[in-house]
């Protein structure tokens, strides 16, 4: 039986809508069984990223807040004015976190989206439309570090924007400023920097990118989808994290996910702009439709007010002291884990990481370490060019005993890797933790993985 389909033979597969519905208690019992079994995997603290909070009491609190508004459509503000309060205050709190008070050359504003990809897509759309309206740009391009998130590639693909990839400095994993400048032309609408990037947990030189953006008269988007709601508190705690927010001249937008280190439920992110004109340029409206005047602030139409309520509840419940306390535990845990890696001369940490760190080996394929650690219950994220694995430290790793287990298991994994250095490892680098040997048929393999997530027929082998 494939591990991707552990419920085969245990639960019925619904290939058609049941003629007769099932009792609620029976449905809930089935859901509870699956949820508890799947939660047990990350509750050990051995899973990189993914579960940023890991606190079931907090989840229960958010679920209660969500449930009060789960049935409400945030699109209908005349019926649910509370959504306007939730959304407006979430944006205001995020603007405060990223020092919008430092802005003297614009009116800082924001919007909520469905996640990091949603925020990035809206940013690309806003820059495209603003450049067309203000500069007459008809062949738009954006420039991103190679390490910036693939959501930029997706967004540019969807919106017809040419995406140019700037090389990075292998020693620092930060973008090469000269490479960025060389790619800029009169059709460039914005450049991108990460704070921090997904792969290595390093922060691009945002201040230098800001100066370049001002010089060239273009936008600078800082992707803080991953680090946005933890790096500011790391700065407050005294960690060496460079400025990346609106205090930096030239930064024109920031994306930061509330559903990561903001400890909200999945499906929310913030997108903030230095100037209202950029945000407003991406609005869609149709005033002459027979069904009435239609407008929406983003690509989504209907949205669950439950997510707005739960996100607001998380932020006002935790407050700065709550976020700062969790950040302190996470940064301390990340430091101890990095020390464990550095204690092995066979391993090498890439760049100058923050709460997320990546490591490789110059003596053996690091995926041998990954293979061994998987056998001990660990789930890392994999990278390539060079092969590397990373750990995004979250609250579950701050539990007692997790760092000690990491130190012990890593030592055994290094010994294993040395013994099997001449062999081919089993795992490889696929975003999201799906592991498998990469071959020349990589594209077809990825397609099959995607199909397996969507096609019911894939759920039962041989049917």
Does some domain include residue 207?
yes
Does some domain include residue 35?
no
Query: Looking at residue 427, what is its pLDDT?
Result: 85
Phi, psi of 185 (to 5 degrees): -140, -170
CATH number of the structural domain spanning residue 336: 3.90.1150.10
10-residue mean pLDDT series, the chain (463 residues)? 72 94 97 96 96 97 98 90 96 98 97 97 98 98 98 98 97 97 98 97 98 98 98 98 98 98 98 97 90 87 95 98 98 98 98 98 97 96 95 98 98 98 83 46 61 58 46
With left for phi above 0 and alpha for psi between -120 and 50, is residue 50 left, alpha or beta?
left
Query: Looking at residue 333, what is its pLDDT?
Result: 98
| pLDDT tens-digit map of 2-24 | 466 788 889 999 999 999 999 99
Query: Looking at residue 348, what is its pLDDT?
Result: 98
Domain end among 299, 314, 329: 314
Q: Are residues 301 and 326 in the same domain?
A: no
Phi, psi of 445 (to 5 degrees): -65, -45
Distances (CA, A) of 134 to 118, 137, 188, 277: 24, 8, 13, 10
For residues 214 and 218, give the distance between their C-alpha atoms in angstroms, rounded to a whole number. 7
* Residue among 282, 221, 273, 269 nearest 107 (CA): 273
What is the per-residue DSSP string for 387-407? Answer: TEEEEE--GGGGSTTHHHHHH
Query: Looking at residue 307, what is its pLDDT?
Result: 98
Q: Are residues 248 and 329 in the same domain?
A: no
Residue 178 contacts by C-beta under 8 Å, 6 or more apart in sequence? none
Q: Are residues 266 and 387 in the same domain?
A: no
Does some domain include residue 13?
no
Does some domain include residue 245?
yes
Q: Are residues 331 and 426 in the same domain?
A: yes
Domain that holds residue 368: 320-447
Q: Are residues 295 and 409 in the same domain?
A: no
For residues 312 and 62, give the distance between their C-alpha atoms in angstroms, rounded to a whole number. 9
Q: Are residues 300 and 403 in the same domain?
A: no
Q: Are residues 171 and 213 in the same domain?
A: yes
Under DSSP, is residue 454 helix (H, G, I), strand (E, B) or coil?
helix
For residues 54 and 67, give the distance between their C-alpha atoms in angstroms, rounded to a whole number. 20
Q: Is 167 exposed, middle or buried (0-12, 13-18, 19+ CB in 10 A)?
A: middle
Q: How many CB atoms lie within 10 A of CB 153?
A: 14
Does some domain include residue 243?
yes
With left for phi above 0 and alpha for psi between -120 and 50, is residue 401 left, alpha or beta?
left
Q: Are residues 354 and 431 in the same domain?
A: yes
Query: Looking at residue 75, what is its pLDDT?
Result: 87
Query: Looking at residue 8, what is its pLDDT?
Result: 85
| pLDDT tens-digit map of 44-84 | 999 999 999 999 999 999 999 999 999 999 988 889 999 99
Q: Is 319 exposed, middle or buried (0-12, 13-18, 19+ CB in 10 A)?
A: exposed
Q: Are residues 283 and 399 in the same domain?
A: no
Per the structure, the count of domains in the chain is 2
Instruction: Find the helix or strand (DSSP H, E) in which 93 lies.
Output: helix 81-97
Does some domain include residue 199?
yes
Q: Is 353 exposed, middle or buried (0-12, 13-18, 19+ CB in 10 A)?
A: buried
Q: Are residues 85 and 212 in the same domain?
A: yes
Q: How many CB atoms lie within 10 A of CB 453?
A: 9
Query: Looking at residue 294, what is its pLDDT?
Result: 86
Query: Looking at residue 434, what is its pLDDT?
Result: 41
Q: Are residues 292 and 328 in the same domain?
A: no
Q: Are residues 215 and 361 in the same domain?
A: no
Does some domain include residue 26?
no
């Amino acid at each position: 039986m494939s591990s991707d389909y552990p419920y085969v033979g245990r639960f019925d597969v619904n290939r058609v809508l049941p003629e007769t519905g099932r009792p609620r208690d029976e449905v809930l019992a089935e859901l509870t069984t699956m949820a508890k079994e799947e939660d047990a995997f990350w509750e050990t603290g051995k899973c990189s990223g993914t579960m940023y909070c890991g606190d079931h009491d907090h989840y229960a609190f958010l679920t209660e807040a969500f449930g009060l508004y789960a049935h409400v459509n945030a699109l209908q503000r005349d019926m649910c004015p509370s959504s306007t309060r939730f959304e407006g205050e979430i944006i205001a709190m995020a603007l405060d976190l990223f020092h919008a008070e430092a802005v003297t050359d614009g009116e800082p504003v924001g919007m909520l989206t469905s996640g990091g990809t949603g925020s990035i897509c809206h940013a690309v759309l806003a820059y495209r439309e603003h450049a067309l309206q203000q500069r007459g740009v008809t062949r738009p391009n954006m420039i991103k570090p190679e390490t910036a998130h693939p959501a930029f590639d997706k967004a540019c693909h969807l919106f017809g924007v040419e995406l140019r990839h700037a090389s990075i400095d292998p020693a620092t994993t930060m973008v090469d400023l000269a490479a960025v400048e060389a790619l800029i032309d009169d059709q460039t609408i914005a450049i991108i920097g990460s704070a921090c990037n997904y792969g290595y947990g390093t922060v691009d030189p945002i201040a230098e990118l800001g100066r370049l953006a001002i010089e060239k008269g273009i936008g600078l988007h800082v992707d803080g989808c991953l680090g946005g709601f933890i790096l500011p508190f790391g700065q407050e705690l005294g960690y060496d994290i460079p400025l990346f927010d609106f205090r930096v001249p030239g930064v024109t937008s920031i994306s930061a996910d509330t559903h990561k280190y903001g400890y909200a439920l999945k499906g929310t992110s913030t997108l903030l702009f230095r100037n209202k004109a950029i945000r407003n340029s991406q609005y869609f409206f149709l005033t002459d439709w027979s069904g009435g005047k239609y407008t929406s602030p983003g690509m989504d139409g209907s949205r669950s007010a439950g997510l707005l309520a739960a996100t607001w509840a998380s932020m006002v419940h935790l407050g700065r002291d709550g976020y700062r306390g969790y950040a302190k535990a996470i940064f301390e845990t990340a430091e101890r884990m990095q020390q464990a890696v550095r204690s092995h001369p066979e391993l090498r940490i890439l760049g100058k990481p923050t709460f997320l760190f990546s490591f490789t080996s110059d003596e053996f394929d690091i995926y041998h370490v990954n293979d061994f650690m998987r056998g001990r219950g660990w789930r890392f994220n994999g990278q390539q060019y060079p092969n590397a694995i990373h750990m995004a430290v979250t609250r579950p790793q701050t539990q007692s005993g997790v760092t000690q287990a990491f130190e012990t298991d890593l030592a055994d994994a290094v010994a294993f890797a040395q013994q099997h250095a001449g062999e081919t490892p089993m795992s490889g680098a696929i975003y999201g933790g799906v592991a498998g040997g990469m071959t020349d048929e990589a594209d077809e393999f990825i397609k099959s993985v995607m199909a397996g997530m969507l096609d019911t027929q894939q759920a039962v082998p041989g049917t």
